[in-house]
Amino acid sequence: MLFGAGSLISVLLAIKYTDNHLRLLTIAMFALLIISMAVFLMFGRTSGTAHFAFFLWGLSFGPLVTLLQAAVSRQVESAIDVATSVQSSVFNLSIMIATSVAGLLLGVYSPMSLIYFAIALAIPGMIISFFAKKTLS
């Protein structure tokens, strides 16, 4: 429930600020994901703090599809509908691949390995977003 509430809040914020702050929002969402996973690592066994981390995770994840679709639509001049459809499919494919890898990690390692995996995936996204000044402007 807290993940969903965080997602809803961040989607509403993305609706308002995506046009003017696409790059900053994208970087912030990846950074917030890393922060939420760090909170899980440090305080995951504390009930209230773990709930807060789920909320932060929802805040970070909710608007990513919107932000990435906005970035794609700014890059193409024609066939925007095709480009955003491909982006959406690739986003869903990446979720499928990541959950498959996460399932394999759970079979071999502890559930905490998933947190490290999430951080490992978020760092390149944040770095790419930081250097994508032309694409995310």
What pLDDT is recorded for position 23? Answer: 93
For residues 67 and 57, give the distance between their C-alpha atoms in angstroms, rounded to a whole number: 16
What pLDDT is recorded for position 89? Answer: 93
Binned at pLDDT 50, 70 and 90, residue 5 comes out as: very high
The domain spans of the chain are: 2-131
**Residue pLDDT, tens place only, 60-118:** 999 998 898 898 888 888 888 899 899 999 999 999 999 999 999 888 888 888 899 99
pTM equals 0.88
